Amino acid sequence: MNKKLDLLNNKKAEALNGGGPERIAAQHKKGKLTARERLHFLLDENSFEEIGMMVTHRSTDFGMDKEQYLGDGVVTGYGTINNRLVYVYAQDFTVFGGSLSETHAEKICRIMDLAMQNGAPVIGLNDSGGARIQEGVVSLGGYADIFYRNTLASGVIPQLSAIMGPCAGGAVYSPAITDFIFMVENTSYMFVTGPNVVKTVTHEEVSSEELGGAQTHATKSGVTHFACANEIEAIQHLKKVLSYIPQNCEEPAPSLNYQAGNERREKLNTILPENIQQPYDVRTIIDEVIDEQSFMEVHKDYAENIVVGFARLAGKSIGIIANQPAFLAGVLDINSSKKAARFVRFCDCFNIPLLVFEDVPGFLPGTDQEWNAIITNGAKLLFAFSEATVPRITVILRKAYGGAYDVMNSKHIAADMNFAWPSAEIAVMGAKGAAEIIFKKEISTAENPQEKWLEKEKEYSDLFANPYRAAERGFIDEVIEPAETRIKLIKSFKMLENKVVQKPRKKHGNIPL
């Protein structure tokens, strides 16, 4: 047995050595951790159990049979994060550049199958040169096997992708199907074709970082939800996101112990600016309402006119969607609609109740928006809210104008509770614009048109620039004192805890894409 144990230990040591000390040193020199180091920081101490450590590739072309590394460029297994089970794979760039072979793909698929059968999240740490070039089509098949599983798992178990190196070609589509992407500034990039191909085809000169780095995808494309300063920060963000979400779609969202206290928040009575046109940061209101320091913003630097993220209210996980008056007056446009719709759908998949703070002047007008399909994209958010069956509450803070009033989780699309502050204005549009349209003739023929306009604006404003017309109809359940917002929300979410909705039978809806 001793000899056999020696053999086992030697093989284990060989696998742990990855692509060898030189390649490990090269990895470190680039400011990157190895696959195993990443897992060490990700998982609870001593919780990692590896599966498939001795797997090797089956390729014989190009002398590949003579080049074998145990594990074949990906470390797979399971462990715990804060004592909760997760399945993980970490691509090892020191072995064939972390490239994906047939067996490398099989290892990832096995982890995904186990995760599905046992109802726990899958976390992928990506660092790969893409398809194993020596293997050709079997590698492409391996990718598709993963994409298919990503799709089956979507909405069943949470899937999180950290990009910690190259991720190019069709390889980007696995992370793209998963729920959240975390990227590392300056050492990770994602693109369908790299700078060289771009130069040949479009004659554009662009660096990898500019084309598909973390900042680009966090601000311009919205592909990544988090741009992190380094790998450790990416891992910390990933772990934090996990803390708000359940293990699978059958479980309720996690809840922390909470000691009830005085839930009034006096500051909220004076938090809005005097002038309705003046911007303010809606995050100051979010922070005041939720449990202290519990807000984790998602997609922070993309479509900043809407704020989305996880928070806790009386210890319970919730998802927040809030118009942001500090950016483009909080208007809804293509990108903000897509961003919010995706977040609403994630929360609905995983039983995370939704809280909406509304202060929206409407949809953004213009050819750019129309030609790029604000109609289809705005409809995404409308569709996402309408089909969500988790508890849904809206608080109208100030403006709720036009179609945006309907879209932002209104009573009409089956929100459960709709509150308004006394400062709310629920109308087809702002009083100034409304007066200009409906009193056009009177204003233009008046002795003093400006004075007339102001008079008519006041008339319209007195009639509609308040929440009471909507409250009379029952579109608003209660007009509340801002200081009581937290109290009302805690009670309402508690009241909605056992919400059950029967939906019409169908295969699946056809969300406007």
Does the CA dihedral 440-445-449-454 come out positive or negative?
Answer: negative
- In contact, 208 and 189? CB cutoff 8 Å: yes
Tell the smallest beta-carbon distance from residue 165 to ligand HXC (Å).
8
Question: Which position among 170, 229, 373, 509 bears the catalytic label?
Answer: 170
Give the orientation angle of helix 282-289 with respect to helix 485-495, to 10 degrees: 60
With 0-12 CB in 10 A as exposed, 13-18 as middle and 19+ as buried, what is 73?
buried
Closest CA to 433 of 410, 412, 457: 457
Tell the smallest beta-carbon distance from residue 160 to ligand HXC (Å).
20
Closest CA to 438 of 413, 467, 459: 459
Binding to ligand HXC in span 364-423, by CB under 6 A: none
Long-range contacts of 446-455 (CB under 8 A, 24+ apart): none
Residue from 140, 176, 177, 198 touching ligand HXC (CB under 6 A): that is: 140
Q: What are phi and psi of 447, to 5 degrees?
A: -60, -45
Please tell me the number of Cα atoms within 13 Å of 296 on its side-chain side: 19
- In contact, 168 and 127? CB cutoff 8 Å: no
Is 130 annotated as catalytic? no
* Contact region with ligand HXC (CB under 6 A), list: 131-139, 354-362, 442-450, 481-489: 131-139
* Contact region with ligand HXC (CB under 6 A), list: 165-173, 224-232, 433-441, 452-460: 165-173
DSSP result, 147-193: HHHHHHHTTTS-EEEEE-SEEEGGGGHHHHHSSEEEEETTT-EEESS
166 touches ligand HXC by CB under 6 A: yes
How many C-beta atoms surround the C-beta of residue 31 within 10 A?
A: 11
* Contact region with ligand HXC (CB under 6 A), list: 112-120, 130-138, 215-223, 324-332: 130-138
| Maximum Cα–Cα distance across the chain | 107
175 touches ligand HXC by CB under 6 A: no
Q: Specify the residue, 19 or 362, whose C-beta has the smaller distance to ligand HXC.
A: 19
35 touches ligand HXC by CB under 6 A: no
3-state DSSP percent of the chain in helix, strand and coil, to 5? 45, 20, 35
Is 403 annotated as catalytic? yes
Query: What CA–CA distance (Å, rounded) separates 119 from 477?
Result: 38
Tell the smallest beta-carbon distance from residue 166 to ligand HXC (Å).
4
23 touches ligand HXC by CB under 6 A: yes
Query: What CA–CA distance (Å, rounded) separates 168 from 147?
Result: 15
169 touches ligand HXC by CB under 6 A: yes
Per the structure block, which two tokens stand in for 7?
């053999």
Query: What CA–CA distance (Å, rounded) separates 282 from 147?
Result: 37
Per the structure block, which two tokens stand in for 461?
């404003």
Site string for ligand HXC, 88-127 (x = CB under 6 A): --------xx-x----------------------------
* Contact region with ligand HXC (CB under 6 A), list: 133-141, 285-293, 299-307, 496-504: 133-141
Tell the smallest beta-carbon distance from residue 129 to ligand HXC (Å).
2
Number of residues that bind ligand HXC (CB under 6 A): 17
* Contact region with ligand HXC (CB under 6 A), list: 102-110, 164-172, 300-308, 423-431: 164-172
Q: Specify the residue, 168 or 489, whose C-beta has the smaller distance to ligand HXC.
A: 168
Is 170 annotated as catalytic? yes
Q: Specify the residue, 37 or 263, whose C-beta has the smaller distance to ligand HXC.
A: 37
Residue from 136, 170, 273, 422 touching ligand HXC (CB under 6 A): that is: 170
Q: Map residue 396 onto helix, strand or coil.
A: strand
Question: Which position among 105, 234, 404, 471 bears the catalytic label?
Answer: 404
Q: Specify the residue, 69 or 346, whose C-beta has the smaller distance to ligand HXC.
A: 69
Is 319 annotated as catalytic? no
Question: Which position among 119, 155, 403, 433 bears the catalytic label?
Answer: 403
Residue from 167, 168, 390, 426 touching ligand HXC (CB under 6 A): that is: 168
Query: Which residues of the shown chain bind ligand HXC in the complex (CB under 6 A)?
Result: 23, 96-97, 99, 129-134, 140, 143, 166, 168-171
Catalytic residues: 169-170, 403-404
